Homo-oligomer: A and B are copies of this chain.
């Protein structure tokens, strides 16, 4: 193993030298195509044994270069440190593994430039396809991928240029709103008798759909929604907390119901509620779009919407597995409502 001794990793040429076979024979044996080359069983065994004994492992970059494939599959997420996205990552990993691909998951901090450069990097590594989750500008990424002919799909946030698998936000929000209205204590009147929507960014697709779901049901069951009932205060716990404080001051108490648009905002809400007396917030029906185990153990009842990460990813891969489509599709997956 002269080459190995020189510090390099052992290659098929080393194995070829060691066994007296040729590089192509070794290659065929070691990558499984040897049956079609009708290589003798014993030759194959001999080669395999030698390879194993020297700890040979194929150089996947070389293979990738030659076959212009990489065996890698990419995914971008806004952040790892989040229940929903880490759930998606977990499912992505499972699906990738089932296809013999090595998952590369990169986070982009919701930064559009970083999204672009990350996708460029993935493309440069010749990933087989890309799953784009929570992108701020999915279509910019689609254009990049299209340029290099890379299959890709949007998950969670839809785009116009590629198929998308998203949560059925309208349905989930409508259903959650319906339940909150059912739970609402009767009696109060005026602004405090209404429901309020808190958190997220109104421009963002998911939030917009949820606001529509909320408004539709609210309108049908209680009455028209006033703009003051929608507090899309952003994605930070602090902003949600401040929003809650302001709302509480404005109304002179808690409203009949609260629709919190993410666990991130929910954190701020809970922080504020903790400053109140139990009997005060016991009067308020609380719901959160998104799920967290511990949020379900709080000292007041809360209804949560759990998005179906498993189906979202399964559908995404189903589309990637199929031959490319003519026109982008949007598939909506219903979330599940969980009451505590």
Tell me which residues from 44 to 62 in chain A have a Cβ below 8 Å from any Cβ of chain B. Answer: 55, 57-62
Residues of B close to A57: CB separation below 8 A: 120, 123-124, 148
**Contact between B106 and A102 (Cβ–Cβ < 8 Å)?**
yes
Binds B, one of A75-83, A129-137, A214-222, A250-258: A75-83
CA distance A79 to B147 in the complex (A): 34
CA distance A64 to B297 in the complex (A): 50
Q: Which of B55, B61, B263, B298 contacts A125 (CB 8 A)?
A: B61
Q: Which residue of B has the minimal Cβ distance to A144?
A: B55
Q: Which residue of B has the minimal Cβ distance to A309?
A: B81
A90 on interface, CB distance cutoff 8 Å: yes
Of the candidates A60, A82, A299, the one having the most CB atoms from chain B within 10 angstroms of its own CB is A60
A274 on interface, CB distance cutoff 8 Å: yes
A270 on interface, CB distance cutoff 8 Å: yes
Residues of B close to A271: CB separation below 8 A: 297
The number of residues on chain A lying at the interface, defined by a beta carbon within 8 Å of a beta carbon of chain B, is 52
Residues of B close to A292: CB separation below 8 A: 294
Of the candidates A87, A294, A295, the one having the most CB atoms from chain B within 10 angstroms of its own CB is A294
A70 on interface, CB distance cutoff 8 Å: yes
Q: Which of B102, B148, B294 contacts A270 (CB 8 A)?
A: B294
Q: Mark A282-318, 1 if CB is under 8 A from B, else 0.
A: 0000000000111101110000000000000000000
Residues of B close to A299: CB separation below 8 A: 298-299
A residues contacting B by CB (< 8 A) are: 7-9, 55, 57-62, 64-65, 68, 70, 72, 79-83, 86-87, 89-90, 93, 102-107, 120-121, 123-126, 147-149, 263, 267, 270-271, 274, 292-295, 297-299
Q: Please list 11 pairs of residues, one from A and one from B, whose beta carbons are closer than 8 Å in the complex, sorted by A's number.
A: A9-B149, A55-B148, A60-B125, A60-B126, A80-B86, A80-B87, A81-B89, A102-B121, A294-B295, A295-B297, A298-B298
With A7-B149, A102-B121 known, 11 other A-B pairs at CB within 8 A are A57-B124, A57-B148, A58-B124, A60-B124, A60-B125, A61-B64, A65-B65, A80-B86, A80-B89, A93-B106, A102-B104
